Amino acid sequence: AAAASRGGPASKFLQVDETVDVRMVGRDGAAVRVTTTANHAPAQLMGALRSLELQVQHACVSHVQGVTLQDVLVDMPASMQDADDLRSALLQALQEQQDSA
């Protein structure tokens, strides 16, 4: 299965302890995991997913000691070829969410 699970600073949204991982689930699904200390992280992620018009099948949010862990299962849009495409689009959408806040 293809994976795009690079941690570390990939955009202004991501800090040293923040990551966005995307893994393909079958041919038309993707599992997204966002770990962050950003304020209002669930709202930012859901706004980013909405802006990309991604269909969310399942989501789980945990917040422990100042770190928010979000797992989301989405349908992979036909316009995106792989996990790297989705991760790039998601990072851009998250940055736009943060800039508009």
Angle at 40 between CA 38 and CA 44, to 5 degrees: 90
So what's the pLDDT on residue 59? 98
Q: Look up residue 93 and give its two tokens.
A: 């959408």
Q: Residues 45-70: pLDDT tens digits?
A: 999 999 999 999 999 999 999 999 99
Shortest CA distance to 95 belongs to which of 10, 4, 8, 12?
12
Which residues have CB under 8 Å from 100's CB, separation 6+? none
Report CA Rg, the chain: 12
Whole-number Å distance between alpha carbons of 92 and 59? 20
Domain 3-100 has CATH 3.90.580.10: no
Which residues have CB under 8 Å from 1's CB, separation 6+? 23, 24, 25
Q: Residues 20-34: pLDDT tens digits?
A: 999 999 989 999 999
Indicate the pLDDT class of residue 1, thresholds 50, 70 and 90.
Answer: very low
Domain ranges of the chain: 3-100
